[in-house]
Amino acid sequence: MNTQNIEKGDIQGLLTRAYGKLTGAVYTLLKFDDSEKAKTYLSALADRLNTCDVRPGNGEAINLALTCRGLSHLNLSEDIINTFPFEFIEGMNNDVRKIMLGDTGPNDPANWVWGGNNKEDIHALLLVFGEDQAKANEVYQREKDVFSSAGISEVLSQEGCMLPEGREHFGFRDGISRPAIEGLHPKGGESENNPFKSGEFVLGYKNEYDNYSVGPRVNAPGSQTGLPSYEPDPQYSDLGKNGSFLIYRQMEQNVPQFWDYLAKQAKDNEETIKIASKMVGRWPSGTALVLSPDKDTTNPDESMKQERVSNKFGYWNEDKDGMKCPYGSHIRRTNPRDWLYTEKKSDVATEMVRKHAILRRGRAYGKPLTPDMETNNMIEKSKELNGINDGEKRGLHFIALVGHINRQFEFVQNAWVKSPNFAGMRTETDPLIGPREVADRDLAHPDNHISRPTQANVVPCAHFTFPDKPIRKRYHNVPQFTTVIGGAYFFMPGIRALKYIAS
Amino acid sequence: MHTVQSGYSLTLEVDEDKLEALSNWLTDIGKDPANNSRIPFSKCKSTLYCSIVTVPVQQRTEKSKKLPAMLMFLSSISGPQKVHIQELVEHAGDGMREMLSFCKGVDAGKIASDKGLYNFLNRKKVSDTFYTGIQYMTYDDIDRENQLRDKLEAHIDQQQSSGNPAYTESSGNWATNLRNELVNYVASNQDTNWATKKWKKGFANAWVNNITLIRTFIFILCIGLITLAARHFEVPYLDELWHYFWKVAGIGVGLILLLLILNDFRNHYVIKGLKLEKFKEVNAHQTNPVINEVTLAGPLRVGWIRRIGFYLILKLAKLLKFALKIPTVVCARWIPMNSSQRLVFISNFSNTSEGYVRDFIDSKSRGRKINLIFGQGYGYPKTLLLVLKGAIDNPIPFVNDVYHNQHITQVWYSPFKNLTVDNIKINRQIRLGLAGNMTETEAREWLKLL
């Protein structure tokens, strides 16, 4: 597959760009009350959506994604809906999936603000971006005026923001590691020399298996539907082509708790930052521990240049035993690169890890703990607050795009992030985003025996260990710093597909 | 007595009309596999894991031959099989009799006595190809080595928080010194001093574990010796005999391979889709956070050569089991059930089924091995030359096929549900490192295990 074959004009823009210059964002969850009117709105919206082939003009951009329930409400036939992958149909809050994802205990969908089992149906996600927040709000208001009169109600609307120097709320530079993708954005990122096949992220193209991911199709040839032919079987039309699956999880971050806990484990701020960096796998500046294990050597004046450099590293040759970047750190769990504990060869590990990549497009929400986000100031403020949150709701709109939800996002979450036994460990999960206990059943409803009718098996995972000399350091009773408060799986269709759905 | 791990596999036909009752009976045991009153596995210490599962009548198509409903009792054990059977008779005799009463051809009178039951269980066991990632370990080994690690970890935490310099500073021969500290701690503690004694594999273990290889070697050696002797005594037609033997053997092996490869070109049925309910059903039974169990059973592909091929592939895998490495599996086995008409596979593995299945095909080299064995099954994606294409190029039909052939295991006994194969192996390495001497470099590597 080469660049020319990719229909950039039919692919929504979020797949190629994070809209980094559009610093304002509004994420709106929608519900279709009147399907016919909603279709009219979506049909018109399809022409206003930003695509990959054109840079956003007028300092604004709009994209849209639909849930499985949303597609049903738009009267898409059951035959077509059943061609979507089963995890998309089941949804993130499904009784089994939530266990697999580690959404038990505080993360349980029963506690979610949106998307939970007892919450209002979510049918669509409207993503609006503006050159600043005022512009984003203006575009959102403009759209709201239109969709409100089209039988569509707003379930929840939230702003997304970009924190100073591209940091997330704990104070670490984020969004450094992004996959290079053939035909979409082949340059930059750790995989620049070997970009990912576009089918890993966009449906209708070949993926890393040299095959096509499961996408929706219509039982009629393209000549009848106006859709492209379904490559594996031309008697069908490809409803998925140029679309992608969008994972949206809202994760609340308890920043004072994070820094206060770490400060209590350390003798001074320097050590506090070191432990935090061991948990993340990078220094707050974004410099990878593998490249600079003892102290942050980033020159602040050249930090943007170094950002690229600091992403070109592996673990196999540089840090096989985790002495620099612990096995259990956030970045090593979510992207083990060329290393897997179970594998004996780097190339096999790389080949396997590449089957589980995700394209992140999220943004923060809420005000930072301190306006400058200087790490020492955040530590002091957290100590002042004694680890109790200051009342500000802050966190991350985690948004990721994949061609296969189960193989990519769910695998990473299940086998790497929330696994207490990742890389031979026993009682720890991802220190930043992992739950502190994992269970074989729904802990909110322990009598709901969806699994074997035996006693519930709950594994506590409140440790964090990092290898050190003379021997590892282990931290106990690590609080759960991040709580999932909402989430859903969406399908972000290509423009033609959206028009078909709205027809 | 040796502690070699093996699979005890009992597969028996069940009357179709008794299948539901048997399934319910087993489900009841599955509520508490360790301590139920019928088959209390916790009393059978030779058992490391056990799956008891029923398989319904299966057939490839409506016109093809029906494969009977089956009961499969598949335990992974350490030590001699006779001891395991004796334990089952002694601690679960009545439960086993009750279970067998659902099966065809079981004469209640003949298994009424303990001796009769023992003989039956011994006689009816079937051959399998067994894999373990934790060879030679017994139930007690796994249990106490895990407790040993807990104690060591707690001790290290305590020493670090009290500022003991051996645990916080790294100067001089720090690794040797720290290891000595840990060895002394273990030696001075009554609960753990057993760990300072050197563990030896032992002759019995080496012999039993490699018996198939040894037998094969002895067989080849005998042939060689006989040939030499015959040559010495100038036995007539010897060279001709050898010449024809190699020809026949070569042609035989080549023919089987050729027929299998040609069979690959047949228009084999490939599973197209799978109902959401099947995914839901399987996933709902594999929610343990650390390890889970999977049981697959399904007919082979069309063609008698597949039966021969599958049988020979399993025999070869058994012979070369020392070369088998399945990183996420504690133990697994394949069985050519119903005279090699059905492919049976069970595994105790890390993660959930969805992740486990992915693990199989995330690398091409692993995918080729998977093709060779699982490619014999009906519905599997089309392979080329036995190892190419198949699951490697068609991951979705492969996943569908695996799910399609999965059966809900009514009884899964797993006393080490929260330990992966890596955990058990690391615990063993920690234990081994407490005995004998080490260089500074070795001690540094060993300390990284903790």
User: What's the pLDDT tens digit per position in A338-370?
Assistant: 999 999 999 999 999 999 999 999 999 999 999
Residue A306 confidence (pLDDT): 60
CB contact under 8 A, A424 and B426: yes
Of B27, B279, B355, the CB nearest to A414: B355
| Cα separation, A355 vs A334, whole angstroms | 13
Residue bearing the bigger pLDDT, A329 or B286:
A329
Task: Name residues of chain A where pLDDT drops below 70.
Answer: 1-4, 186-190, 300-309, 442-455
CB contact under 8 A, B352 and A414: yes
Least Cα distance to B88 among B130, B55, B124, B56 occurs for: B124
In this prediction, residues B255-272 reach a mean pLDDT of 93
| Cα separation, A259 vs A380, whole angstroms | 9
Neighbouring CB atoms inside 10 A of B289's CB total 28
CA atoms within 13 A on the CB side of B20: 1
Residues 6+ apart with CB under 8 A from B302: B60, B266, B268, B269, B378
CB contact under 8 A, B280 and A90: yes
Interface pTM (ipTM) of the complex?
Answer: 0.93
Contacts of A469 in chain B (CB under 8 A): 170, 174
Residue A232 confidence (pLDDT): 81
Query: For B341-353, how does the pLDDT look when each residue is reduced to its tens digit (9 = 90+)?
Result: 999 999 999 987 7
| Cα separation, A1 vs A5, whole angstroms | 7
Residues 6+ apart with CB under 8 A from B257: none
Q: How far is CA B347 from the centre of its chain?
A: 6
- Name the average pLDDT for chain B: 93
| Cα separation, B225 vs B221, whole angstroms | 6
To the question of pTM greater than 0.80 for the whole model, the response is yes
Written as one string, the DSSP assignment of B349-390 is: EES-HHHHHHHHHSSHHHHHHHHHHHTTBTBPPPEETTTEET
Query: For B158-179, how does the pLDDT look when each residue is reduced to its tens digit (9 = 90+)?
Result: 999 999 999 999 989 999 999 9
Amino acid sitting at position B269: Y
In this complex, is the C-beta atom of B418 within 8 Å of any C-beta atom belonging to chain A?
yes
| Cα separation, B261 vs A25, whole angstroms | 58
Neighbouring CB atoms inside 10 A of A275's CB total 19
CB contact under 8 A, B167 and A321: no
| Cα separation, A86 vs A406, whole angstroms | 9
CA atoms within 13 A on the CB side of A433: 23
Residue A4 confidence (pLDDT): 44
Provide the pLDDT confidence category of residue B295 given band limits of 50, 70 and 90.
very high
Range with the poorest average pLDDT among A183-187, B230-234, B377-381: A183-187
In this complex, is the C-beta atom of A477 within 8 Å of any C-beta atom belonging to chain B?
no
> What is the token pair recorded at A44?
């018109």
Written as one string, the DSSP assignment of A151-184 is: TEEEEEEEEEB--GGGB-TTS-B-------BTTT
Q: Is pLDDT at B419 greater than 90 in this prediction?
A: yes
Residue B93 confidence (pLDDT): 97
Residue A178 confidence (pLDDT): 84
CB contact under 8 A, B418 and A348: no
* A-contacting residues in B 423-442 (Cβ below 8 Å): 423, 426
> Which DSSP helix (H) or strand (E) runs through A449?
none
Of B170, B283, B422, the CB nearest to A341: B422
> What is the token pair recorded at A262?
């770490």
| Residue with the two structure tokens 């029906």 | B66
Query: For A198-218, how does the pLDDT look when each residue is reduced to its tens digit (9 = 90+)?
Result: 999 999 999 999 888 889 999
Give how far A113 is from chain B: nearest CA, Å: 25
Query: For B48-89, how does the pLDDT look when each residue is reduced to its tens digit (9 = 90+)?
Result: 999 999 999 999 988 899 999 999 999 999 999 999 999 999
In this complex, is the C-beta atom of B352 within 8 Å of any C-beta atom belonging to chain A?
yes
Nearest CA in chain A to B34: A454
| Cα separation, A246 vs A66, whole angstroms | 9
Residue A448 confidence (pLDDT): 52
| Residue with the two structure tokens 């089956």 | B70
Pairing, β B388-389 against β B383-384: antiparallel
> What is the token pair recorded at B336?
């050519």
Give how far B112 is from chain A: nearest CA, Å: 31
Nearest CA in chain A to B408: A452
Residue A3 confidence (pLDDT): 46
Residue B381 confidence (pLDDT): 95
| Cα separation, A111 vs A252, whole angstroms | 12
| Cα separation, A445 vs A92, whole angstroms | 17
The answer to whether A139 touches A62, Cβ cutoff 8 Å, is yes
Query: For B304-359, how does the pLDDT look when each residue is reduced to its tens digit (9 = 90+)?
Result: 999 999 999 999 998 888 778 888 899 999 999 999 999 999 999 998 777 778 77
| Cα separation, B26 vs B288, whole angstroms | 20
| Cα separation, A492 vs A489, whole angstroms | 10
In this prediction, residues B30-46 reach a mean pLDDT of 95
| Residue with the two structure tokens 């895990």 | B146
